[in-house]
Structure 1
Amino acid sequence: MNTRAGTKALPSDLIDVKALIHAYYALVPDVSIPEQRVVFGTSGHRGSSLNTAFNEHHILATTQAIVEYRALQGITGPLFIGMDTHALSRPAQTTALEVLVANGVRVMMDSRGGFTPTPSLSHAILAYNRVGHDADGHALGGNPDLADGIVVTPSHNPPGDGGFKYNPPHGGPADSDATNWIAARANEIIAAGLVDVQRTDPEGLVETYDFLEHYVADLGNILNMDAIAESGVRIGADPLGGASVAYWAEISERYGLNLTVVNPEIDPSWAFMTLDWDEKIRMDPSSPNAMASLITRRNEFDVLTGNDADADRHGIVTPDAGLMNPNHFLAVAIDYLFAHRSGWRPDARIGKTLVSSSIIDFVADSHHRELWEVPVGFKWFVPGLVDGSVGFGGEESAGASFLRLDGTVWTTDKDGIILALLAAEIIAVTGKTPSVLYRELTERFGDPVYERVDAPANREQKARLGKLSGADIAATELAGDPIIAKLSHAPGNGAAIGGVKVVTEFAWFAARPSGTEDVYKIYAESFKGPEHLALVQAEARAIVDRALAS
């Protein structure tokens, strides 16, 4: 932890926005250099223009590749496009529009000229595709063309980054088959000097869609907005300078909520932020350092909420606990929803990533619901959310979505807005804060201690870790307890986890390579307390290091 973590950013911490945008147009990537290639992680291609990792050539080529991918898949409907508040988002969206229009794609952008949260774009895709199609997307007549979308966002990344994400017709993050094809084709296009890119002036050739109106007007079909309004629960919503700022103001007015937008400021340098653990500005609502200024106001409201720049993540602050650990709120949300959503299928499962807290396992069992444990990445929840077989899908990194009141799909991408509003609904209906309800869960199931730490790893070591098998782990004990499982594939769907998870009766750890840094991530949890967790973490490093060295 750096000494300035949690303190307000200084002028020396801020990006030079003009230099950033100049570099976007001026620097030309060399795709023979790995750091300058188009690479799609779990949430699209990300990077800084200053490092020649996110520049005009990247977006020209990636957009052209998406056009070609759409043609191969027979996607002929409109493409919805939205952007967040990062400085590079507007230039990248303009570049994308030039390519899309030149290729004859029907494009729908925000009618208000504003910013579009990721969940709002997912909502738009699904709303369009729902008309005239069955649950599997087959045309029933009247609307044979399926829509898809692009979100221009690096999510919670620092102000100097840009991001570009493709959402196919199911409305959620594209799977690796799609992103690998798009990235490979984009790099081919860049290497060939962009000769295959078509572009034109999009002025007057782009259609518009009111993302905000359609999304906000529909909230009563997924949340008990009447209960929130009637209770008068005091809500403080902080968009953290992101795309949800106008949404929160509209939600408050339309539904008559006792809601204050505590910081409506939009600033591409994010000068109002407090620094994260590494002294970087990062709009992460799950970080107590990034949320420090909000936490100091926790006694002014019944609940305070935060969203990242594209509003796909949530942070929940209560007067009695401050910022809740994301795993804690996920457990409370699941417990509440499966007790208060009678319209959901009786066999609807509870989806979690395998690095989320095991207290969720106990909650699922208490509701007699199947736990569906999948690898990291929200894309795994998409099919279940679409057909209603998964009532809730959540990640330990504070990203989740759930079904409408009638058990049908809402979004297939993470939605930090509805999770924040759910915290208010929980207070309105139960009279208790989510943090109080979490303490009640620990009284029933135990009080786990959870933490994620990073350990150094070079490119070769990360590649080996990603291919590691449970059989490669020689250890038979972890922190004094027998190992009962060594996983390299997720129990829920059998998909490779890109690392390993080791489990005992009282603890577990998982190790995965970082997609953006020279580290691997160790997630660990213990039901025996902090000292035992520290022992689990130390032994986890040793176990993984031995496996990588063998």
Structure 2
Amino acid sequence: MSVHSHAGQPARPQDRINIGRLVSEYYTKQPDVQLVEQQVSFGTSGHRGNALKTSFNEGHIVAICQAVAEYRTAQNLTGPLFLGKDTHALSEPAFISALSVLIANDIPVVIQQDEGFTPTPVISRLIISHNKQQASQADGLIITPSHNPPTDGGIKYNPPHGGPAEGAITKQIEQRANELLANGLSDVKQVSLEHAMSSPLLQRQDFIQIYVDQLDQVIDMQAIAKAGIKIGVDPLGGAGIGYWPVIAKTYGLDLEIVNDVVDASFAFMPLDKDGKIRMDCSSPYAMTGLIAMKDKFDVAVGNDPDFDRHGIVTPSGGLMNPNHYLAVAIHYLMSNRDWPTSAKIGKTLVSSSLIDRVATLIDRPLSEVPVGFKWFVDGLHDSSYAFGGEESAGASFIARDGSCWTTDKDGFIMALLAAEILAVTGKDPHQHYLALVEQLGAPFYGRVEAVANLQQKQVLTSLSADSVSADDLAGEKIERILSHAPGNDAAIGGIKVVTANGWFAARPSGTEEIYKIYAESFVSQDHLASIITEAQQIVSAAFEQAGL
């Protein structure tokens, strides 16, 4: 994909959304479940859509919440449901719609005390903390489309383990929600907003202080404060914006918020690579503003709107590639925490093989799983995984005492860990990365996308080792062809082809009419290009063999 001519530049008037129209169509457009694109569809991070395209509207939200209420009843979940929302324009009306259904179904709901914003990792932490202490099991809903553009909305369900719901659960919720939509929502229970807000079932808590007070269980906050690390923070207008000042005050940190604007149009954002407003803290285009300030701080951090992702900026290297930071974080944590040596390092199969090399270097078990943070949930919950991370800048890890912290991605702790690394070692994460690659080799990583129709995506999903006739990839002997992840033997929805110094993975998108090729080389940029070219040829051959 070519870089847009305005990428990294301030949003123009024509790039900004009409919030009034967006919210109006959330309430007025009615989904037609006969159209696939208007159905409830849970991907790896819940249901996402756009009110203007009738893919995220009030009908979707009330149907999903009714389906969740019925799921809770079937599972005998009697504890509270923690409800959070981010700063997208559609999150506020969806929050109101959700409350009206949950209260009507006699569910005890807990929200932020000022009805403010709540990040994804906070909901996970609240669920886990409650379920450790109470017999009645809690769960949660987070209203967010993550880093998606301002036009989008999203909602995801976290069951009692506190992490993203597994496929069996989301399939059940998805099917029931679509049944409810098909029946004209006649079985959906709702009360008025006034009734919901005054109901004794609705409780308000100070989520901010609860979460912040526990942060020293997972991060060495005293080390950061004692070292006087100067931290720059750009919340990108997200749900954690009210948390950072409390974190700074509680732990005595030298912390500056460089942008404290909350604007549902996100008009303050530089445009992303494709010329769209997108709050992607791993994108050098979206993070242009913070990168320009890199010399002002010892370390600077950014997060996406629901704070489940992180971006790390250092004076020595600018914005770190997410894969590079994951490798550094894993190496540091495993070397500086008193965790059981049997605790695994979890990575998705499209994350850098530098992580594999780090695991070998420090002699710790590695578990490679398919794309999606849900694959780390059980391991983080029982602490058999010390760390779980994705190449898309999402990760979490266990507490300093080895207990479960969150089972969802936590952008706060990954950001604060960068400051801890500098405070404890005297070197920033980029300097640690340079030391690692000097020892283990430098990775060259890339991702490309191509248009694929439904039939082609189905072919790609069903590929196996038998589908690849080649013996070599970019001049190296193919060592492994995977259709199932070695960490848990779950289907990867595509294939991964591995050589001694490179690999590629091809898989279809779950939400768009495209397929993606991820690739990496430990030889050179030219070698990476050859891997990608041959990967595209392998995929094209599979399509041709299927007559497509």
TM-score band by shorter chain is over 0.9
Tell me how many residue pairs correspond in the alignment.
538
* Structure 1 counterpart of 2:170: 179
1:508 equivalent among 503, 525, 545: 503
Per the TM alignment, residue 451 of structure 1 is displaced from its structure 2 partner at its CA by 1.2
2:145 paired with 1:154: yes
What letter matches 1:505 in structure 2? A
Partner Cα separation in structure 1 for residue 90 and residue 159 of structure 2: 23
Asked if the contact 2:459/2:542 (under 8 Å) is kept, the reply is: no
CA RMSD, Structure 1 to Structure 2 (Å): 0.8
2:265 paired with 1:230: no
* Structure 1 counterpart of 2:251: 255
2:197 paired with 1:203: yes
Partner Cα separation in structure 2 for residue 471 and residue 6 of structure 1: 43
2:342 paired with 1:347: yes
Asked if the contact 2:82/2:126 (under 8 Å) is kept, the reply is: yes
Q: Deviations over 1:424-468 (max 9, x none)?
A: 000000100100100000011000100111111112111221222
2:291 paired with 1:295: yes
What letter matches 2:28 in structure 1? A
2:76 equivalent among 69, 74, 77: 74
Per the TM alignment, residue 339 of structure 1 is displaced from its structure 2 partner at its CA by 0.6
What letter matches 2:50 in structure 1? S
Residue pairs, 1:356-395, within 5 angstroms:
356-395=351-390
* Structure 1 counterpart of 2:262: 266
2:213 paired with 1:217: yes
Partner Cα separation in structure 1 for residue 244 and residue 543 of structure 2: 47
What letter matches 1:447 in structure 2? A
* Structure 2 counterpart of 1:42: 44
Residue pairs, 1:150-549, within 5 angstroms:
150-201=141-192, 202-205=196-199, 206-342=202-338, 344-549=339-544
Partner Cα separation in structure 2 for residue 463 and residue 69 of structure 1: 30
Asked if the contact 2:294/2:315 (under 8 Å) is kept, the reply is: yes
Q: Deviations over 1:266-299 (max 9, x none)?
A: 0000111011111011100000011011111111
Partner Cα separation in structure 1 for residue 458 and residue 171 of structure 2: 16
Q: Deviations over 1:43-72 (max 9, x none)?
A: 000011000000000001011011111111
* Structure 1 counterpart of 2:96: 94
Partner Cα separation in structure 1 for residue 383 and residue 31 of structure 2: 43
* Structure 1 counterpart of 2:128: 126
* Structure 2 counterpart of 1:138: none
Partner Cα separation in structure 1 for residue 121 and residue 331 of structure 2: 23
Counterpart secondary structure, 1:9: coil
Structure 2: runs of 5+ lacking an equivalent: none
Partner Cα separation in structure 2 for residue 216 and residue 467 of structure 1: 45
Per the TM alignment, residue 548 of structure 1 is displaced from its structure 2 partner at its CA by 2.4
What letter matches 2:241 in structure 1? V
What letter matches 1:103 in structure 2? N
Asked if the contact 1:118/1:415 (under 8 Å) is kept, the reply is: yes
Asked if the contact 2:313/2:319 (under 8 Å) is kept, the reply is: yes
What letter matches 1:70 in structure 2? R
What letter matches 1:24 in structure 2? Y
Per the TM alignment, residue 11 of structure 1 is displaced from its structure 2 partner at its CA by 1.0
Asked if the contact 1:306/1:314 (under 8 Å) is kept, the reply is: yes
* Structure 2 counterpart of 1:134: none
Asked if the contact 2:142/2:157 (under 8 Å) is kept, the reply is: yes
* Structure 1 counterpart of 2:55: 53
Counterpart secondary structure, 1:69: helix
Q: Deviations over 1:164-221 (max 9, x none)?
A: 0000000000000001111111011001100110000212111112211111000011
Per the TM alignment, residue 144 of structure 1 is displaced from its structure 2 partner at its CA by 2.2
TM-score by length of 1: 0.97
Partner Cα separation in structure 2 for residue 363 and residue 116 of structure 1: 34
What letter matches 2:425 in structure 1? T
Partner Cα separation in structure 2 for residue 486 and residue 345 of structure 1: 32
Asked if the contact 2:496/2:504 (under 8 Å) is kept, the reply is: yes
Partner Cα separation in structure 1 for residue 203 and residue 298 of structure 2: 41
Counterpart secondary structure, 2:20: helix
Per the TM alignment, residue 18 of structure 1 is displaced from its structure 2 partner at its CA by 0.3
Asked if the contact 1:345/1:388 (under 8 Å) is kept, the reply is: no
Identity over the aligned pairs, expressed in percent?
57
Asked if the contact 1:401/1:412 (under 8 Å) is kept, the reply is: yes
Q: Deviations over 1:374-412 (max 9, x none)?
A: 001111111111111110100000000001010000000
Q: Which consecutive aligned stretches of 4+ in structure 1 deviate over 6 angstroms post-superposition?
A: none
Per the TM alignment, residue 356 of structure 1 is displaced from its structure 2 partner at its CA by 0.4
Per the TM alignment, residue 113 of structure 1 is displaced from its structure 2 partner at its CA by 1.7
Q: Deviations over 1:224-275 (max 9, x none)?
A: 1000001111100110000010111110111110100111100000111011
Asked if the contact 1:318/1:435 (under 8 Å) is kept, the reply is: yes
Asked if the contact 2:463/2:494 (under 8 Å) is kept, the reply is: yes
Per the TM alignment, residue 543 of structure 1 is displaced from its structure 2 partner at its CA by 0.5
Partner Cα separation in structure 1 for residue 232 and residue 224 of structure 2: 13
2:22 equivalent among 20, 23, 26: 20
Partner Cα separation in structure 1 for residue 185 and residue 469 of structure 2: 49
Per the TM alignment, residue 345 of structure 1 is displaced from its structure 2 partner at its CA by 1.7
Asked if the contact 2:84/2:118 (under 8 Å) is kept, the reply is: yes
What letter matches 2:290 in structure 1? L
What letter matches 2:414 in structure 1? L
Partner Cα separation in structure 2 for residue 463 and residue 313 of structure 1: 30
What letter matches 1:488 in structure 2? S
Partner Cα separation in structure 2 for residue 345 and residue 209 of structure 1: 35
Asked if the contact 1:89/1:162 (under 8 Å) is kept, the reply is: yes
* Structure 2 counterpart of 1:115: 117
Partner Cα separation in structure 2 for residue 129 and residue 155 of structure 1: 25
Asked if the contact 1:171/1:412 (under 8 Å) is kept, the reply is: yes
TM-score by length of 2: 0.97
What letter matches 2:468 in structure 1? I
